[in-house]
Each structure stands twice: as C-alpha cells, then as structure tokens.
Amino acid sequence: MFKVFLAVIIALQLNAALAAQESTPIVLKSSQYLDVSSGKLVSPALLLIEGERISAVDLDSVPSNARLIDLGSRTLLPGVMDMHSHITLDYYSSDHWTTAAVMETPADWALHGASFGREMLEAGFTTVRDAGAFPGFPDVAVMRAIENGSIVGPRVFPAGHYISITGGHCDVTGFAPGIMEIGPKQGVADGKDELLKAIRYQAKHGVKVIKVCATAGVFSKGDSPGAQQYSDEELQVIVEEASRHGLKVMAHAHGSEGILAAVKAGVASIEHGSMMTEEIIREMKRRDTFYIPTIHLNDVPLPPETPQWTVDKNDFLKPYVENSFKMALEKGVNIALGSDAGVMPHRDARLEFYAMVKRGMSGLQAIQAATINSATLLGVDDRGEIKVGLLADIIAVDGNPLENIRVMENVSFVMKGGDVIKTPAADL
C-alpha cells in the first residue's frame, strides 16, 4: 500500500514539474528577425513566448522567470507554409509507387504521414495544406493525431480524397476492371448529384479544403495533360457546395481551358497552372485567385519506374511551366509556395524557395509566398508573421535570407506553438 501511495506522490510531483516547465515563458534571442510584411530586418531580436503565442516583441530585457534560448547571429522568421504537399504519399523512394494504391492501405499512408510530416516540420514548415491522399482519409487522421499530441508534425489542412471524374487524373486508373473501382465517397464523382454527395461526405469526415482535378495530369494515363475534365457547370457546383460548408477549393489544372474554367468557377487557387494565358492572368487578378506554381518540380528528375507516358507529358509541359511562372510574376498574380512534396522528398519542399528566386522572384517575395500570402490563402490570421498575439511558429536560419535565399534550405531552429521542435544541434 505504501508503495502505491509513494508512486502516486511521485507521479503527481512529476506532472507538476512538467506543467511548471510548460508554463515557463521562453525568450528567443538572436541578432535579428524578419518583419515579412515590411521586408525589414529588425535588430536585435528578443521575443517573449508565453504558452503557444508570441506575447511580446522587441523586449528590453529577459524576465527573471523566463527560459532564455540564445540563437546567436541567426535570423528569426515566422514558420513557413507549404500550400501543396502530399504528406501521406511516397512517389520517390518506393519501388512500387505506380501500384501503391492497391498494394498499401490507409494505415500505411497514415504512417507515411507521421514520418513525412515530421520531416517537413523539421525543415521549417509549421503549416501544410495537404493536396489529396488515397482513399480512407489518412491525411485527416494525421491532422488529428498531430492536434491531440500523439505525433509531432506541422499544422495540417487536409483535402482528403481528390475530386475527380471517372477515369480522370485523380481516379485510380490503369488496373483491370473491378480493381479499386471507387465512387463519390472516395471522391470519384460525375454530374451534380454525385458531386454534392462527394463534397458532403468529405465535409462530414473533417477535411479543411476541397481538391478538384479540373484537368488531366502528368502522373496518370492519357495523352493530353492539359485536357479539361470537369465541365464549367460541374466546377461551379463544386465551388458552391464547398462554400456552403466553409471550405475553399484548390484546383489541379494544367491546360488553359481548364484553368480558366476553374478560375471563373471561383476556386481559391490554381495548382501547377502550367499553361497560363493573358486572359487567365487578368481573370485571376480580378478574382484574387492564388497561383501555386510548384516550380521546383521542373528541376527534379522523375521518380524511378516512371511510365513513358508520364515522361512524354512532363517533357511537353516544361517550357509552358517556365513561361507561366514568368508571366504570373510579371503581372503580379497572388503567389503562394507549394512544393508537391511526395512526388519528391518531403524535406526538399525547402528547395522551392530557390527555385522561385532563380526564376525572378526576390528573396522577400519568396518568403512572403510561404508566410503572409499562404495565411491569406488559408483564410487564417493567427500565423505568418512575428507579431504579438500570433502563434509562436518561429524558425531560425544561419544568415540573411534576403541576401541569400539558400539559407532557407538549412533551418537550424524550429518552434511550433511555443514547443521547441529542433535546435541548432540537430541541423538537417
């Protein structure tokens, strides 16, 4: 009996000690932090973190009850965000990625998400918008596990199942009839009635965004990667129904007709946008539609075992992709960072910064694409800046990212919601 009593006392003391540690304010000290709105580096940096939020910026001194984390000459930035990731998919290291949909299960994909989500967080991505998963809502499961503290990862905005026409880019194709034939509950829907059912089912199971495949694509069968797949009317149904549930729509779209139709239907963002035109650019600016270029993909070799039809379509689109990015940047279209991680190593989402800068963006514009622009696209106002009252999602890099954007590829410190995830001793 005494041993039980003693064990209870020890447990209570340990819990009290942990609670006290969690409630201890943290001060982050470094040589400077970046005000991403103004583009100014503020020096020195002395930030007070209480709980999960930033409670003071530009402190004069360190409070006596605070824990000091001295990051030396590093630059502090708000945690960055990836608006097009696939944290449950592995298209780059698996030897069966072309058949993963029928060889793995939602449990496998959720486990991928637990691992890859942590990789992205440690690379500095404190928020990701997941752009679709295989059936079974593994991305929603990962989101919930992160939120309840079961696993460590970024804040996730899951899309759940892709919305696709039968046999379209986001349907599972290429197998014999009867193998993985899926319908509206798994996102494959044709016509108004099926689309309503598909989107309502998505909303029921906790998605935070709807992903529609408005055109054909590269990693699926078919000769034309840009062919429009949903009709104009069907796209409007998708956006209207999603809006009723408080959900924005992201549209995978390569070809010009499909991009324009999706923009006119009211989607929040165009993913890839490979074949832009002047008319599309004007319409996007008029509607404040975001463009997620995933431009680093143009620099990445295709995964092993890539079918020839994918190689051919990828080669066809490459020059169009370059021209579209240049046009969108010159015309001032809203741009947010998206990597398409999952097609490439997840930690390499960080390479998207340099990919945009080497094509004409300033370092500040690239960082804004991953911070304040991404927050605007998500419709959130609690992150994206180092500012009093916002979430303490903060990263540190060795150097000045405005002068050398490649320092964003080696994030040495990560804090998410006041929790220290990575310190300089654990560099990538």
In whole angstroms, give the CA distance from residue 351 to residue 337.
Answer: 11
Of 82, 90, 130, 211, the catalytic one is 211
DSSP H or E stretch at residue 70: strand 67-70
**Amino acid identity of 153?**
G
Structure tokens at 97: 């990625």
Position 289, amino acid: T
Q: In this structure, what are the phi and psi dihedrals at residue 250, rounded to the nearest 5 degrees?
A: -110, 135
Catalytic, out of 82, 139, 171, 340: 340
Q: Is 192 one of the catalytic residues? A: no
Q: How far apart are CA 153 and CA 123, in angstroms?
A: 11
Instruction: Give the count of alpha carbons within 13 A of 397, CB side only.
Output: 24
Single-letter amino acid, residue 316: F
**SS3 (DSSP) at 383:** coil
Question: What is the distance between the alpha carbons of residues 126 and 155, in angstroms, rounded to a whole number?
Answer: 6
Give helix then strand counts, H and E, for the chain.
12, 18
> Which amino acid, 210?
I
| Two structure tokens written together for 242 | 């999603």
Structure tokens given for 424: 């300089």
Q: What is d(CA 295, CA 273) in angstroms, rounded to the nearest whole number?
A: 10
Angle of helix 308-331 relative to helix 278-287, nearest 10 degrees, comes to: 60
- Nearest CA to 130 out of 115, 107, 113 is that of 113
Helix (H) or strand (E) holding 75, with range, is strand 75-78
Q: Which DSSP letter does residue 299 get?
A: G
Would you state the torsion angle of the CA atoms of residues 170, 289, 238, 177, taken in this order, to the nearest 10 degrees?
A: -10
Residue 313 appears among annotated catalytic residues: no
- Tokens linked to 382: 């609690």
- Token couple for 82: 């990836």
Catalytic sites, residue numbers = 211, 340
